Structure 1
């Protein structure tokens, strides 16, 4: 496996902070994203390389191993641990029971799952593959309904169904979609972190949505009907006479889908904001003065 300098890939120094690494990754990911570089194989390869570098350097434990072991960072620490256990066990068993090296080897294999076909071959210990970490950026409207996506992680296309109601910064695990295991060990897992961008007029809090609605002074005083936009269409609301500013109305079931509970929704909370009329005519001012005297 050729050595890849992940710091050079992200164009950061080896002393870069987590914040600097994150900023560098996002900048490069936007630049080389496949959606912005259609049919550009070079940009596609660069994008994959950037993601690979971010998966390692954005994870403190992985970064520590990478700095210490270089290209062998995935298994370097495990090798050292297994070697220490072997040496300690050899010394202990030799002093307690007088095991020979050959006898120890057979015992070690039975204990730790190694497999030896001949006494001259090296012992092998099974290791799980590296876990991968990726970010998936979506808009709030994208996660209002269940939909399918294809992700490219380390040159592999992964098809997944994204349930409705995914939360911002929620992490899901896909088993076996990480790095390959060593010596027949299981593959690692893929952890996907969702970054949900909200470009709507709604504020989301859990399964509920919140929205401010302007109400003219006359409708608030006399009552009436208005059309209000919800996340999935318009509804007609009746306004009670003498509705006060900051009055809240709950529209049950008009909020956001409940994660992995099909057909269940939170509520939409409407807050009325009464707008005071401006640029009054002379006659309007006279009428308001008459009302003032009456009150």
Structure 2
């Protein structure tokens, strides 16, 4: 069962961005592990709150959730299951203030602990039939990767030394009367280390920008504006943390003839009024080839023919839709003299029996015009 992210944050579906942020901040502080040590229930609640905020704070993900109630990964399954939200979003939202708020050396140690890399979002456009049957697409993704020369440290081999200002603690302690105030070391930024020789490859940044080509498996039945999550396809993590995720927003092009309604394929087929009256057979295109259909005599405008199992498979494997053919009877606007004469003869020969399927309507209209 999919989660109700609005209920988790305690906001309405019409909540503004400010209301969502306010609700998230309150709940994240309430359930943060630092305030609830060894409390598994609070830890799980904290993860849920972070998960809800990641979806509802992003306009595209929020629209995806509002429409489908879930976000899809590369296999067509709902995203976020088993994902470690931890405190990654919390740290991005609150910054280092939270660590200093709870005080102690833990604030400094947190800055060195492994952190998950940031997510990447890309758009991919596919053809209508590619969405029906699924396809693998190569996507060129701009990524932030850890520098291979320094392994993300930003220093040349042997170029890291203990900070002389804080002596490796990451904090500066000052006494003011009876009070002791600890602040983050301005020299090392709280890491307790100082880079004396910057990496020649990344210029001390610890990371480089590169393009990586990933093969994205787009499942059969995917719909326009659905989003796939590629776990670990995002930017590299910090201090050995896991890579972020890649979110692929799929755009499906419109087809010249077919349109889609859920799992069903809709096709409008024009037929002449003569074929509608006398009946005929037509060979029509389908998404996987062609099919011969029979038009029964006396077919009315907008009658439908349903071809079972000729639609699109459900993106999560729950069956296949149908193909629905809308018969559009075309009335000629230009007639030759001979055609007019034939229609006049047809008109003289017509009576209520000619329109037996609409006999009651025929009688009412005849009575109206003769009154």
CA pair 79-161 structure 1, distance change in 2 beyond 3 A = closer
Gaps of 5+ in 1: 1-58, 61-74, 91-103, 116-122
What RMSD in Å do the two structures reach over aligned CA positions? Answer: 2.8
- Which residue of the partner structure matches residue 176 of structure 1? 232
Structure with bigger gyration radius: 2
For residues 124-273 of structure 1, what are the structure 2 equivalents within 5 Å?
124-154=112-142, 155-261=211-317, 264-273=319-328
Q: TM-score, normalised by structure 1?
A: 0.60
Residue-pair matches, total: 198
Deviations, residues 228-260 of structure 1 (Å, cap 9, x unaligned): 111221211111111011111111111122214
How far apart in 1 are the matches of 2:92 and 2:291?
64
The residue number in structure 2 matching 1:36 is none
Q: Deviations over 1:252-295 (max 9, x none)?
A: 11112221429x42111111111223443323222211221222
Question: What are the residue-to-residue correspondences of 1:63-102 with 2, within 5 Å?
Answer: 78=91, 81=94, 83-90=96-103
Distance 1:148 1:82, change over 3 A: closer
CA-CA distance at 1:195 after TM superposition: 0.6
- The structure 1 segments of at least 4 consecutive aligned residues displaced by more than 3 Å after TM superposition are 77-83
Question: Kindly tell me: are residues 277 and 125 of structure 1, through their superposed partners in 2, closer, same or farther at Cα, counting changes over 3 Å?
Answer: same
Determine helix, strand or coil for the equivalent of 1:274: strand
- Partner of residue 151, structure 2: none
Per mean C-alpha deviation after superposition, the further-off stretch among 280-289 and 183-192 is 280-289
| Secondary structure of the corresponding residue to residue 173 of structure 1 | strand
Query: Within 2, Cα distance between the matches of 1:149 and 1:254?
Result: 25
Q: Distance in 2 between matches of 1:88 and 1:276?
A: 78
Find the aligned partners of 1:284 and 1:80 in 2 and give their Cα distance.
Answer: 76
Cα distance between partner residues in 2 of 1:260 and 1:186? 28
User: What is the CA distance between 1:143 and its match in structure 2?
Assistant: 2.0
Which of 337, 344, 353 is residue 282 of structure 1 equivalent to?
337
- The 1:86–1:160 alpha-carbon spacing in structure 2 relative to 1, beyond 3 Å, is closer
The structure with the greater share of residues assigned to helix is: 1
Is the partner of 1:280 in helix, strand or coil?
coil
Matches within 5 A, 1:22-61: none
Aligned to 2:346: 291
Structure of greater relative contact order (alpha carbons < 8 Å, 6+ residues apart) = 2
Q: Is the 8 A contact 2:276 2:297 kept in 1?
A: yes
- SS of residue in 2 equivalent to 1:144: helix
Looking at structure 2, the residues matched to 87 and 128 of structure 1 have their Cα atoms a distance apart, in angstroms, of: 21
8 A contact 2:134–2:222 mirrored in 1: no
